[in-house]
Amino acid sequence: MSEQDTSQQDKKNQKHKAAMEKQKAKVDARIEEASTERGVALLLTGNGKGKSSSAFGIVMRALGYGQKVGVVQFIKGQQLSGEEMYIKDHCPQVDFHQMGTGFTWNTQDRSGDIAAAEKTWAIAEPMLKDGSYDVVVLDELTYMLAYKYLDEDTVLNALKNRPVEQSVVVTGRGGGSALQDIMDTVSEVKEVKHAFKAGIKARQGVDL
């Protein structure tokens, strides 16, 4: 490397170092400002793939810290998923429940779906009152609100009034602005492409 090339490389390194120092200062300042210690409410929404997968990533993270976790899945349940099989086989400390009716477009039974939703909520609601749970995941709960299978005020009040140290993760498309308003973090997963639309079957370990 020539002397000129070395000089240019040194300038790039110095510029990069200065930019990273500035970025670190901003991050450190935000960390310093975050002084409130409590559980968080996280909504994973949007029409893209990965909402439930992200929620189960949080489950694994919580288990890494030895925390108590509850998982309640609305809608899903007719077809075994990789998450369900792994948790049942390897994570007996996770309280895992499923509504078990499958998707609403399969059942085509509104009355039956409402009854199933209410029965499943009767399992989820006590978790949101139990301070021994560090993390509660309510997978696909948004559909229960969108289809009006559950009373919105009842659900929102339970989410808002949960124990202060408890974190809750809600997944699913939609759910309404009132739900978004009470959540601390709202992340939207956007679909850019999806293999299914190209005729590619769902894949075990990735989709199931």
Examine the domain organization and report whether 97 and 160 are in the same domain: yes
pLDDT of residue 158: 98
Asked whether residue 25 carries a pLDDT value surpassing 80, the answer given is: no
Examine the domain organization and report whether 58 and 152 are in the same domain: yes
Structure tokens at 7: 């000089």
What percent of the chain clears pLDDT 90, i.e. is strictly above it? 52
More reliable by pLDDT, 43 or 2: 43
Q: Is the dihedral of CA 54, 40, 95, 98 positive or negative?
A: negative
Examine the domain organization and report whether 187 and 108 are in the same domain: yes
Q: Does the residue 131 lie in any domain? A: yes
Examine the domain organization and report whether 72 and 1 are in the same domain: no
What percent of the chain clears pLDDT 70, i.e. is strictly above it? 85
pLDDT of residue 72: 95
pLDDT tens digit sequence for 85-94: 888 888 888 9
Q: Does the residue 205 lie in any domain? A: no
More reliable by pLDDT, 181 or 1: 181
Q: What CATH number does the domain containing 58 carry?
A: 3.40.50.300
Examine the domain organization and report whether 26 and 71 are in the same domain: no
Amino acid making up residue 43: L
Asked whether residue 38 carries a pLDDT value surpassing 90, the answer given is: yes
Domain that holds residue 84: 38-198
Nearest to 163 by CA among 136, 189, 130: 130
| pTM attached to this predicted model | 0.81
Q: Does the residue 145 lie in any domain? A: yes
Examine the domain organization and report whether 70 and 168 are in the same domain: yes
**Residue the block writes with tokens 């930019």:** 19
Average of per-residue pLDDT values in the chain: 86
pLDDT of residue 32: 65
Examine the domain organization and report whether 20 and 74 are in the same domain: no
pLDDT of residue 208: 67
pLDDT of residue 175: 87
Which letter, b or e, does each residue of 3-27 get, where b requires 16 or more Cβ atoms within 10 Å of its Cβ?
A: eeeeeeeeeeeeeeeeeeeeeeeee
Number of domains in the chain: 2
